[in-house]
Amino acid sequence: MTEKGLREVVAGQTKVSDIDGAAGRLWYAGYEIGDLAANASFEEVVFLLHHAHLPNREELDELTEFLVNERELSPFLLKLMPDLAQQTSPMSMLRTGISAASAYDPDGWDESAEAQYRKALRLIAKTPTLIATYHRLRTGQEVLPPNPKLPHAANFLWMLLGEEPDLDDAAALDTTLILYGDHTMNASTFTARVIASTLSDMFSAITGAIGALKGPLHGGANEEAQKMAEEVDKPENAEAYVRDRLARHEKIMGFGHAVYRTMDPRAAVLKQMCKELGERVGEPQWYEIYAALEATTLEQKGLYPNVDLYAAGVYHMLGIPTDLMTPLFALARMAGWTAHVREQYANNRIIRPGSEYVGPRDRTYVPIEERP
């Protein structure tokens, strides 16, 4: 008998990241996630995920310069964006936008390891511009060019909101990007690796990953968590909300995990961030609502929060519209997805699992006139 959902099945080897679900620990290339969240920048983490070591100053400067120089969208993408802004949801825009970014990529059909790396970095560089351009267009605001003086996270806030971001806000966003950066063989990463394993191209692999992330059981959960907090409205309503949902056998979004059996270590960092940010911006109610949901869901169902619960609160207070929270997850995960795709190419065998046939056997063809 196969385990439904491939749970516990080891689908491949990786040096990118590792999880201990029982202990609630996560490492990127051997570095504990809490250590990276407290000390690294997202750009350093991009380098770490791709090279399995932290960059020295020269390596980091080179990577940062490449990312900054690749932020602009091609004229082809810019032409597509007004239609996408009017006709598609944010994640559908991203799926189409990333696919369309393959046109005019300077490396074209070059599939060498060097070209794949450059394509990966271009995808990381352009994702914030795609999301911000989309949002500015759909809200009738002027599209802002990337600011080469700002790091990845701060530049995104600038392009999205049109104001030089507060340093603390930019640092908070940067930390969330680190936390969302990679997560072993999750559904979207597995999707990307399956596509890469056929020796299809980087853009196809990442487009497929975005499709997998879009679902509410995966990346879509942060948006659902924020909607839930808004519906709950006050901490004292959390208990009845959770009780009602569980009685109807409905999921509480932002809780539970396929691997963690205790607190998700990313949620622990985000919980503290959500509390501090709420105090700083004068909106402590979000932390209080989420904390009340956490206490009551643990008590009633024994479930712990995952990364998406408190991330939603942090993003909300940073001014991120709710329907851009999953695209932000994608913006961060672009680092991990592309690292996994390159790792797959470097040591490839086509991924082709077996299946357990549970239908009828030994049947004989019956002409259509004789069928009931």
Interface pick for ligand COA out of 59, 263, 301, 323 (rule CB under 6 A): 301
Helix (H), strand (E), coil (C) string for 139-153: CCCCCCCCCCCCCHH
Find tokens 């393959």 and name the residue.
102
Q: Among residues 165 and 254, whose Cβ is nearest to ligand COA?
A: 254
Give the active site residue among 182, 183, 308, 316: 308
DSSP H helices, 89-151, are 90-100, 113-138
What is the rounded distance in angstroms from the CA atom of residue 222 to the CA atom of residue 305? 11
Q: Among residues 51 and 218, whose Cβ is nearest to ligand COA?
A: 218
User: x/- site string to ligand COA, residues 250 to 269, per CB under 6 A?
Assistant: -xxxxxxxx-----------
Q: Among residues 151 and 219, whose Cβ is nearest to ligand COA?
A: 219
Q: Is 48 in the site for ligand COA (CB under 6 A)?
A: no
User: How many Cβ atoms from other residues are within 10 Å of residue 212's Cβ?
Assistant: 18
Residue nearest to ligand COA (CB): 256
**Which has the closest alpha carbon to 200: 343, 341, 15?**
341
Q: Is 297 in contact with 255 (CB distance < 8 Å)? A: yes
User: x/- site string to ligand COA, residues 313 to 342, per CB under 6 A?
Assistant: ------------------------------
Q: Is 131 in contact with 160 (CB distance < 8 Å)? A: yes
Task: Report, in Å, the least distance between residue 289 CB and ligand COA.
Answer: 16
Percentages of the chain per state (helix, strand, coil), in multiples of 5: 60, 5, 35
Task: Report, in Å, the least distance between residue 164 CB and ligand COA.
Answer: 33
Nearest-5° angle of CA 350, CA 352, CA 356?
Answer: 170
Interface pick for ligand COA out of 172, 308, 331, 333 (rule CB under 6 A): 308
How many angstroms separate the Cα of 269 from the Cα of each of 178, 337, 365?
11, 22, 61
Q: Is 298 in the site for ligand COA (CB under 6 A)?
A: no
Q: Among residues 160 and 331, whose Cβ is nearest to ligand COA?
A: 331
DSSP per residue, 73-89: PPHHHHHHHHHHHHHS-
What is the rounded distance in angstroms from the CA atom of residue 88 to the CA atom of residue 323? 12
Q: Is 227 in the site for ligand COA (CB under 6 A)?
A: no
Task: Report, in Å, the least distance between residue 211 CB and ligand COA.
Answer: 16
Task: Report, in Å, the least distance between residue 245 CB and ligand COA.
Answer: 7
Backbone angles phi, psi at 246, to 5 degrees: -65, -35
Q: Is 360 in contact with 212 (CB distance < 8 Å)? A: no
Q: Which stretch binds ligand COA (CB under 6 A): 157-165, 173-181, 299-307, 314-322?
A: 299-307
Q: Is 173 in contact with 41 (CB distance < 8 Å)? A: no
Nearest-5° angle of CA 291, CA 226, CA 215?
Answer: 120
Tell the burial category of 335 from Cβ atoms under 10 Å away from its Cβ (0-12, 13-18, 19+).
buried
Task: Report, in Å, the least distance between residue 223 CB and ligand COA.
Answer: 11
Give the active site residue among 257, 264, 316, 340: 257
Q: Is 270 in the site for ligand COA (CB under 6 A)?
A: no
Q: Is 213 in the site for ligand COA (CB under 6 A)?
A: no
Q: Among residues 10 and 350, whose Cβ is nearest to ligand COA?
A: 10
User: How many Cβ atoms from other residues are within 10 Å of residue 295's Cβ?
Assistant: 14
What is the rounded distance in angstroms from the CA atom of residue 95 to the CA atom of residue 92? 5
Q: Among residues 25 and 251, whose Cβ is nearest to ligand COA?
A: 251
Q: Which stretch binds ligand COA (CB under 6 A): 161-169, 306-314, 318-326, 363-371?
A: 306-314
* Residue 257 is among the residues annotated as catalytic for this protein: yes
Q: Is 278 in the site for ligand COA (CB under 6 A)?
A: no
Task: Report, in Å, the least distance between residue 221 CB and ligand COA.
Answer: 3
* Residue 53 is among the residues annotated as catalytic for this protein: no
Positions annotated as catalytic residues are 257, 308
Which residues would be at the binding site for ligand COA (CB under 6 A)? 217, 221, 251-258, 301, 303, 306-308
